[in-house]
């Protein structure tokens, strides 16, 4: 991977410089990364982005060219500071939840503990990778929920917000259960199965539609999916596909599928299915594409559409109905004399008040039902695992509470880097996909449904809640 050290906001560098000037650059600080609101009105988000974050941290280095560029800046960075940057490397700790984990608002998904000099620099890139990939994995999970048994193809490269988004978005969709991508680079880099049909141009460029189908299937006798809507789907495209499929049968081959890319996909798929079945071609699959998303797919299913596979591009890869996840990276503790001193950011908007302290997060799973009861944010070092009972209460509406016993507390944050060294072996994509499915099985259906899901609570331990309240009253002059 490439060195992206200057993929940061300028204010990170100016704060670094100011710390360097004041002699405070090595103070160790703790930052939490989290988001405040779930995207798409969904009941959960799917964390993705860790692989890229790990690559990024492993390759952080200011090159001579980077330094020369910084030297040109009007702020006039001191030569000794630029010299210092030459030795820059990440020496801190990073904890994160594994990719594929279901995550919820206001819980730390990632925790950085590092000299402030480093912790500032990496904020922008970490949020950039986490926000985009988590957004796309979440969108993909919504699509997967409405078509759990169908084949889902990610077709978005041409419409993605540039190349990185296409490639990493494709990976995020695969984590959430997509079956393949049309993007060859994503296939090469990540081992995602690649698939492709053909474009209208193939048909337009041939002497006739029939000729186009014959020549394509001659070249790919076992992998052809024919696009049937170039001229007239039911009068021309499907009959020609049937004719060619029958000819293929004579040679011992099977047409894999047809693709519908326009018109009324419910009506056309039902009619095409009938025509294929009547011709004895029930094995030929019907793939649909055309600006699809989870709403359209679920609507098409309700209309009885006979579609086996879905090619999904624009709406998925651009998260068109909510193109950004508002994940943030906030200072929560200062390490002083080996103690973590909690720090808070107050806001007139209660949702923006941070949760102070050096914290971790547990998923509280009921041993009897096997289902998650809620997440529990505590200070690192609080003994959560061996407690007999745990009081879960909503941090804002504290009267909403329940006591759980007979539970397992699973710590979600795992050590990824310790003192700058990667200590976590990144999981392979098949393992991440399986893990994601296991994660889903921990949750009641009511939290997973697409429309108006039941809220899943993220609770604070009493200690965290008390410190938060103390700091609010210290700082806020009502």
Ligand X SMILES: Nc1ncnc2c1ncn2[C@@H]1O[C@H](COP(=O)(O)OP(=O)(O)OP(=O)(O)O)[C@@H](O)[C@H]1O
Ligand Y SMILES: O=C(O)c1cccnc1
Ligand Z SMILES: O=P(O)(O)OC[C@H]1O[C@H](OP(=O)(O)OP(=O)(O)O)[C@H](O)[C@@H]1O
In the complex with ligand X, the residue whose CB is nearer, 119 or 297, is: 297
Establish if 318 lies at the interface with ligand Y (CB under 6 A): no
Task: Give the count of residues interacting with ligand X (CB under 6 A).
Answer: 12
Q: Name the closest residue to ligand X (Cβ).
A: 262
Given 206, 236, 314, 387, the residue binding ligand Z (CB under 6 A) = 314
Establish if 136 lies at the interface with ligand Z (CB under 6 A): no
User: Is residue 190 within 8 Å of 429, Cβ to Cβ?
Assistant: yes
DSSP state of 197: -
182 binds, among ligand Z, ligand X, ligand Y, none (CB under 5 to 8 A by kind): ligand Y
Given 290, 298, 387, 422, the residue binding ligand Z (CB under 6 A) = 290
Establish if 158 lies at the interface with ligand Z (CB under 6 A): yes
Token digits of residue 59? 């390759």
Establish if 155 lies at the interface with ligand Z (CB under 6 A): yes
Using CB under 6 A as the binding rule, the residues of this chain from 271 to 290 that contact ligand X are 290
296 binds, among ligand Z, ligand Y, ligand X, none (CB under 5 to 8 A by kind): ligand X
In the complex with ligand Y, the residue whose CB is nearer, 92 or 180, is: 180
196 binds, among ligand X, ligand Y, ligand Z, none (CB under 5 to 8 A by kind): ligand Y
Element spanning 33, H or E: strand 28-34
How far apart CA 155 and CA 147 sit, in angstroms, is 16
Q: Name the closest residue to ligand Y (Cβ).
A: 197
Task: Give the count of residues interacting with ligand Z (CB under 6 A).
Answer: 14
**Using CA atoms in the order 39, 40, 44, 47, what is the torsion angle rounded to 10 degrees?**
-50
Q: Tell me which stretch binds ligand Z (CB under 6 A): 64-72, 216-224, 289-297, 323-331.
A: 289-297
Establish if 285 lies at the interface with ligand Y (CB under 6 A): no
CB atoms within 10 A of CB 372: 23
Establish if 313 lies at the interface with ligand Z (CB under 6 A): yes
How far apart CA 457 and CA 87 sit, in angstroms, is 44
Establish if 296 lies at the interface with ligand X (CB under 6 A): yes
How far apart CA 95 and CA 80 sit, in angstroms, is 32
DSSP state of 194: B
360 binds, among ligand X, ligand Z, ligand Y, none (CB under 5 to 8 A by kind): none
User: Tokens 């100016």, residue?
Assistant: 14
How far apart CA 113 and CA 95 sit, in angstroms, is 9
Q: Smallest Cα–Cα separation from 153: which of 196, 200, 189?
A: 196
Establish if 152 lies at the interface with ligand X (CB under 6 A): no
Given 195, 292, 392, 413, the residue binding ligand X (CB under 6 A) = 292
Q: Smallest Cα–Cα separation from 349: which of 464, 458, 463, 476?
A: 476
In the complex with ligand Z, the residue whose CB is nearer, 197 or 461, is: 197
How far apart CA 155 and CA 110 sit, in angstroms, is 30
Decide the pairing of beta strands 359-366 and 372-379: antiparallel
Token digits of residue 475? 């700082």
- Sketch the per residue contact string, 156 through 195, with ligand Y: x for CB under 6 A, - otherwise: --------------------------x-------------
Establish if 266 lies at the interface with ligand X (CB under 6 A): yes
38 contacts: CB under 8 Å, gap ≥ 6: 44, 45, 104, 105, 138
Establish if 155 lies at the interface with ligand Y (CB under 6 A): yes
Establish if 169 lies at the interface with ligand Z (CB under 6 A): no
C-alpha dihedral sign at 278, 280, 285, 289: negative
Can you give the binding site for ligand Y, defined by CB under 6 A? 155, 182, 196-197, 259, 289, 311, 313
């Amino acid at each position: 991977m490439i060195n992206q050290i200057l993929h940061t906001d300028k204010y990170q560098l100016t704060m670094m410089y100011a710390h360097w000037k004041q002699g405070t650059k090595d103070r160790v600080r703790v930052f939490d990364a989290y988001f405040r609101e779930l995207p798409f009105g969904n009941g959960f988000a799917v964390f993705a982005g860790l692989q890229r974050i790990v690559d990024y941290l492993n390759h952080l280095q200011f090159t001579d060219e980077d330094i020369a560029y910084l030297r040109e800046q009007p702020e006039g960075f001191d030569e000794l500071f630029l010299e210092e940057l030459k030795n820059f490397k990440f020496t801190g700790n990073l904890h994160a939840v594994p990719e594929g984990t279901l995550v919820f608002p206001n819980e730390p998904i990632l925790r950085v503990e590092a000299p402030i000099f480093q912790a500032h620099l990496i904020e922008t890139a970490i949020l950039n990778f986490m926000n985009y990939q988590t957004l796309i994995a979440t969108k993909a999970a919504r699509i997967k929920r409405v078509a759990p048994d169908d084949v889902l193809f990610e077709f978005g490269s041409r419409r993605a917000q540039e190349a990185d988004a296409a490639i990493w978005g494709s990976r995020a969709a695969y984590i959430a259960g997509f079956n393949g991508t049309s993007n060859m680079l994503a296939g090469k880099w990540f081992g995602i199965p690649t698939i492709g049909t053909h474009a209208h141009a193939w048909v337009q460029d041939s002497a006739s539609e029939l000729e186009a189908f014959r020549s394509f299937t001659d070249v790919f006798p076992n992998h052809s999916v024919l696009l049937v809507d170039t001229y007239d789907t039911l009068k021309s495209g499907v009959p020609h596909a049937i004719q060619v499929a029958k000819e293929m049968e004579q040679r011992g081959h099977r047409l894999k599928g047809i693709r519908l890319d326009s018109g009324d996909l419910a009506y056309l798929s039902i009619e095409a299915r009938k025509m294929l079945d009547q011709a004895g071609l029930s094995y030929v699959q019907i793939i649909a594409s055309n600006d699809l998303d989870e709403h359209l797919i679920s609507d098409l299913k309700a209309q009885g559409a006979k579609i086996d596979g879905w090619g999904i591009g624009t709406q998925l890869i651009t998260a068109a109905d909510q193109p950004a996840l508002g994940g943030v990276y906030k200072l929560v503790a200062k390490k002083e004399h080996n103690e973590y001193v909690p720090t808070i950011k107050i806001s007139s908007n209660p949702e923006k008040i941070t949760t102070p302290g050096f914290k971790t997060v547990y998923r509280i799973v009921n041993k009897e039902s096997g289902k998650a009861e809620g997440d529990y944010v505590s200070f690192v070092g609080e003994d959560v695992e061996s407690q007999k009972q745990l009081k879960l209460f909503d941090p804002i509406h504290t009267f909403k509470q329940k006591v759980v016993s007979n539970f397992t507390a699973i710590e979600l944050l795992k050590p990824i880097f310790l003192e700058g060294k990667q200590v976590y072996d990144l999981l392979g994509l098949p393992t991440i996909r399986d893990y994601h499915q296991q994660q889903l099985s921990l949750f009641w259906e009511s939290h997973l449904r697409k429309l108006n899901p039941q809220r899943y609570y993220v609770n604070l331990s009493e200690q965290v809640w008390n410190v938060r309240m103390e700091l609010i009253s210290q700082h806020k002059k009502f």
